[in-house]
Structures are given as structure tokens and as C-alpha cells.
Amino acid sequence: DQQVKQNSPSLSVQEGRISILNCDYTNSMFDYFLWYKKYPAEGPTFLISISSIKDKNEDGRFTVFLNKSAKHLSLHIVPSQPGDSAVYFCAASSAQGAQKLVFGQGTRLTINP
Amino acid sequence: GAGVSQSPSNKVTEKGKDVELRCDPISGHTALYWYRQSLGQGLEFLIYFQGNSAPDKSGLPSDRFSAERTGGSVSTLTIQRTQQEDSAVYLCASSTTGGWVNQPQHFGDGTRLSIL
């Protein structure tokens, strides 16, 4: 039972363009959503989060959008840079679940020069 | 240190041996989590510590797995009688608080465990 799904295992984007990574979830109890970036041989690095009371959160080049009715969130990176090439994980948690993170399978983003 | 520290970074051992993995959380973080990532899989939750409360062990895959957190800081994850399916990257994370307040978890670089 995959509660958090990232249906695109990989994405290739040209440098300077917008990267859009998508994530779907099934558990309506989730109330906090996060995106992590992971380089090989390193742990996930926290990027940006959003609470279920909001529908958008922006931090520099990164914006996360939450559509609760569709149980869908997305991460927009603009403009994309070569250093953004990494695996991106979507994660969700609920207060009732003691903030245990449930992760998607990840999307490998490649930024082409 | 500034971040979550895990040791060893790599561990290779024979099937049937016991292993101990260590995690030093960020100073002042009261919540500590263990996750693992098997090859080609996402991260899966193992166990959660919050302050002096009883740990949430709901993610431990078998009774061969145990963890403790001494003095509310350092944690060790122990796997007894290791099996080949235990091969994975074991990741530790900490946050300023767990439970009812939303705070991001910050991860260490993990221990890559290989069972021969």
C-alpha cells in the first residue's frame, strides 16, 4: 500500500527552464508535506515544506503547491540549475502519526546544460 | 557538530553476525528517527524517540531489530543475527520536536550495511 507516490522515476529539464516534480498521496490524515533532495552517498537534505492549511509555500527558486482535494502536491524549481540534478523525494506526515515520514519512491531530476 | 552524524559510514558483515549502528542527532533536537532505504526503494520508517517517552517501534521489521537512545541524545540501532535482506542504507534523522508540531527532520548521511 503505497501511501505516497511519485509516478515519474526520472525527469530531464534544460538549464534555465522550470522543473516540475509531482507527488500524490492517499492518506487524508496527512497534514504536513516535505520535499527532500538527495545526492549519491549522502542523506536527504530538507528543501521545503508545506502545512495542510496552506496551498502554496515559496522559498527562493523553490515553490511547493498543495491541492488537498486532489491529494496532490508539486515542487517547482525555477530557473533550474545544473546543481539541482539529484533525486527528489516527496514525504508526508501527520500529527497523529507522530510525524513519522512516509516517503515516495523518488524522482531523479537531470538538468541539462 | 552542525548536522546529524552517523557511524560507521559503511559496514560489511557476514550473515548471522550482530551489528550496531550509531547516530548523534543535532544538539538540542528532542525527536530522533531511524529509517532505512533498501536498493531501489523509498525510505521506510523504523523507530521514533521523543524525549523520555516510550519509543514508537511500529516500523521495526522483526524482533531482531532494536534501538535505544541514551540520555536523550545518542542512539544505537542493533540488528541481531543479520540476514541478507537487512542490506540497506540506514538513515537517522532528528528534529526539534516530534508529535503535534510540524518541524522538518534533518538526516545524517546514513550507514550502508552489506550482509554477505
Measured distance CA(B30)–CA(B47) in Å, rounded: 14
**Residue B39: its pLDDT value, please?**
84
pLDDT above 70 covers a percentage of chain B that reads: 96
Buried b / exposed e over A47-69, threshold 16 CB at 10 Å, is bbbbebeeeeeeeeebbbbbeee
Q: Among residues B26, B52, B31, which one has the least CA distance to residue A100?
A: B31
Find the residue in B nearest to A47 (Cα): B104
Please tell me the distance from the alpha carbon of residue B2 to that of residue A112, in angstroms, as a whole number. Answer: 32
Most B CBs within 10 Å, among A27, A34, A87, A101, to test the B interface: A101
C-alpha cell belonging to residue B46? 523504523
Give me the domains of chain A, ranges plus CATH numbers: 4-112 (2.60.40.10)
Q: Which residue has the higher pLDDT, A61 or A99?
A: A61
pLDDT of residue A25: 97
User: Which chain A residues are Cβ-neighbours of B4 within 8 angstroms?
Assistant: 43
d(CA B78, CA A60): 41
Q: Does A31 touch chain B (CB under 8 A)?
A: yes
Q: What is the pLDDT of residues A25-65, one digit of tens each?
A: 999 999 999 999 999 989 999 999 999 999 999 999 999 99
Note down the domain range covering B43. 5-98+106-115
Task: Report d(CA A84, CA A61) in Å as an integer.
Answer: 11
pLDDT at residue B100 above 60? no
Find all residues with CB under 8 Å of B5, minimum gap 6, and list them.
B23, B24, B108
Query: What's residue B26's pLDDT?
Result: 94
B87: cell is 542490506
Chain A positions in Cβ-Cβ contact with residue B100 (cut-off 8 Å): 95
**A76 touches A45 (CB < 8 A):** no
Residues from chain A contacting residue B44 (CB–CB below 8 Å): 103
- CB contacts of B59 in chain A (<8 Å) are 100
Split into its structural domains, chain B has a count of: 1
Task: Tell me which residues of chain B have a C-beta less than 8 Å from any C-beta of chain A.
Answer: 4, 6, 31, 33, 35, 41-45, 48, 50, 56, 59, 91, 93, 95, 98-100, 102-110
A55 backbone dihedrals φ, ψ, rounded to 5°: -120, 0
pLDDT tens per residue across span B17-30? 999 999 999 998 98
The pLDDT of residue B98 is above 70? no
B26/B97 Cα distance (integer angstroms): 12
CATH number at residue B76: 2.60.40.10
Inter-chain CB pairs, A–B, below 8 Å? 67
